[in-house]
A = this chain, B = another copy of it.
Amino acid sequence: MTNAFAALAEPMRQAIFERLAERPMSVGELAGHLPVSRPAVSQHLKVLKDCGLVRDQARGTRRVYRIDPAGLGAIRQWLDRHWDLALAAFVEEAEREVKE
């Protein structure tokens, strides 16, 4: 996947991410609450992990996944940067229309 945006764009990954936002969970537990198979959840977790959005921890035979706050931070930075740019352009455009 290219960036963290694309990772969270997928609806199923959003659902997984929201579940993990409540509390850390194992792969099987996630799959039990979602309408997809366990391998599918595992693949999604791999994508989220590569983007730095989640972290995994071996817990016996199970593998517990939790959210990595740093991942969301990167998205917020991107959004804030373009948020400011968009607002600046919007204000500038509004001022120009007033002069006309």
Residues of B within 8 A of A75 (CB): 79
Determine if A82 and B5 form an interchain contact, defined as CB atoms under 8 angstroms apart. Answer: no
How many copies make up the complex? 2
Q: Of residues 1 to 54 in A, which have CB atoms within 8 Å of B's CB atoms?
A: 2-3, 5-6, 8-11, 14, 17-18, 20-24
Count how many chain A residues have C-beta atoms less than 8 Å from C-beta atoms of the other chain. 31
The docked-state distance in angstroms from the alpha carbon of A20 to that of B76 is: 19
Residues of B within 8 A of A76 (CB): 79, 83
Answer yes or no: A58 CB below 8 A from chain B CBs. Answer: no
Q: A9 → chain B, closest Cβ, in Å?
A: 4
Extra A-B contacts (10), CB below 8 Å, given A3-B11, A21-B86, A72-B86: A5-B8, A5-B9, A6-B10, A8-B9, A20-B89, A21-B85, A24-B93, A66-B89, A66-B93, A69-B90
